[in-house]
Amino acid sequence: MKEEIKSIIVNFPFEGEFIDYYPVNNGHINDTFVIEFENKFGEINSFLLQKINVSVFKNPDELMKNILGVTDFLKKKIIKSGGDPDRECLTVIKTKDGQPFFYDERFGHWRCYNYISDSYSIDFISSPEVFMNAAKAFGKFQKMLSDYPIDTLYDTIPNFHNTSSRYADFINAVEQNLSGRLDTCLPEVEFAKARKADADVLVNLLNKGKLPLRVTHNDTKLNNVMFDKASGESICIVDLDTVMPGLSLYDFGDSIRFGANTAAEDERDLSKVSLDLELFELYVRGYLSQAGDSLTEREINYLPFSAKLMTYECGMRFLTDYINGDKYFRVHFPDHNLVRCRTQFALVADIEQKLEKMKRIIENAKSKKK
């Protein structure tokens, strides 16, 4: 691998001597590495090198145009407000030829970002404040992009959070049973089918003009926030591949799905899976403190439902991929997608029990704002 990495990085304008690389293993789609160079003063400079998964992101030119547009826009705002654009926003490092990624038939598509020094990301909530900080970061991200020219964005993955179309993909997978695994996941298939009506709710509201289309992140997992090592404050939102026109509810709901679950996304012991209502409340407060003024009453009212819907959608995507034979998400063991699906569906069932309480939390947050 080191030889492959070396052949790729010579195409980027790095200074110093290439010292080492190591993989970053928390994504299910792209391959990510930290690469290190030593300069003549003996200092180590790090960068992020990423292989773009072009079977998922089929048009890397459009993908990178979105990212360059969004990062340029964010950097201007960060500078205006006195922030540090290199630390609070990703920076694409272009190739020696000025291209946003390097392509070679043998190696595929590779891009490079600055590495945000003295920062870390997490897969689990270490303290409630951390989740509050993540909520503020995603709320602020939403607000900063509220006047981004939405028509200039490409759909990097069409119908990404169109849950009606995700449902159709799922039914299609069941009918084709490409992997022959259908008989190993019948209860999960029934669980998904029983909630078909939910799949259409937000899509219908959007189509009727009752929910506004916004520029959204669409992959608001906790590990897509970088935190400052010294202060623990959130600094920067990363993984901008799916920044596209979408609903604010997608971003809110997906954050809850991942961060307010008391268990990991692929926990096998389903008794550990539940929605932590305190974390939900903290996220609501943090998110609304930043994005609240720009959200409509209806968006706010649908926040609890969005947590259920995004968890259902994600579970259904894992199940679809399991039935299709693990073509989309990276898996680390044979039934990984089924395990992930079961965890998501256990969380959906728990959210269903807690929806009334979640609605009360929203009412409470709204009355405090008034």
- Rounded distance, CA 143 to CA 96, Å? 34
| Residues β-bridged to residue 92 | 113
Amino acid in the structure at residue 110: W
DSSP 170: H
What residue 28 binds from ligand GN1, Mg ion, none (CB within 5 to 8 A, per partner kind)?
Answer: ligand GN1
46 phi/psi in degrees, rounded to 5 = -110, 155
Longest dimension (CA), the chain: 63
Q: Which helix (H) or strand (E) holds 234?
A: strand 234-237
From the list 27, 139, 246, 315, which residue makes contact with ligand GN1 (rule: CB under 6 A)? 27
CA distance 343 to 318: 10
Candidates 186-194, 200-208, 214-222, 321-329; binding stretch for Mg ion (CB under 5 A): 214-222
Closest CA to 195 of 96, 313, 26, 326: 313
Least distance to Mg ion, CB of residue 239, Å: 4
Residue from 239, 251, 266, 313 in contact with Mg ion (CB under 5 A): 239
Question: Which range, of 110-118, 145-153, 197-205, 233-241, touches Mg ion by CB under 5 A?
Answer: 233-241
Q: Does 219 bind Mg ion (CB under 5 A)?
A: yes
Q: Stretches 26-34, 126-134, 199-207, 343-351: which one binds ligand GN1 (CB under 6 A)?
A: 26-34
Number of H-type helices and E-type strands within the chain: 12, 11
- Give CA–CA dist 143/154, Å, rounded: 20
In whole angstroms, the minimum distance from the beta carbon of 242 to ligand GN1 comes to 5
Quote the tokens at residue 80.
Answer: 């205006």
The item of Mg ion, ligand GN1, none sharing an interface with residue 350, based on CB under 5 to 8 Å by kind, is none
Q: Which of residues 140-179 bind ligand GN1 (CB under 6 A)?
A: none
Site for ligand GN1, residues 252 to 281, rule: CB under 6 A: 265
Nearer to ligand GN1 by Cβ, of 288 and 310: the residue is 310
Asked if 306 is part of the footprint of ligand GN1 (rule: CB under 6 A), the reply reads no
Residues within window 182-221 making contact with ligand GN1, judged by CB under 6 A: 219, 221
Cβ proximity to ligand GN1, 88 vs 265, nearer residue = 265
Which among 351, 124, 135 has a CA at the least distance from the CA of 251?
135
Query: Which element (helix H / strand E) includes 93?
Result: strand 92-93
Our finding on whether 28 is near ligand GN1 (CB under 6 A) is: yes
Identify whether the C-beta of residue 89 lies closer than 8 Å to the C-beta of residue 73.
no
How far, rounded to the nearest angstrom, does the alpha carbon of residue 18 sit from its chain's CA centroid? Answer: 30
56 binds ligand GN1 (CB under 6 A): yes
Determine the interface stretch with ligand GN1 among 14-22, 24-32, 40-48, 144-152 (rule: CB under 6 A).
Answer: 24-32
Report the interface residues with ligand GN1, using CB under 6 A. 27-29, 56, 219, 221, 239, 242, 265, 314
| Binding residues vs Mg ion (CB under 5 A) | 219, 239
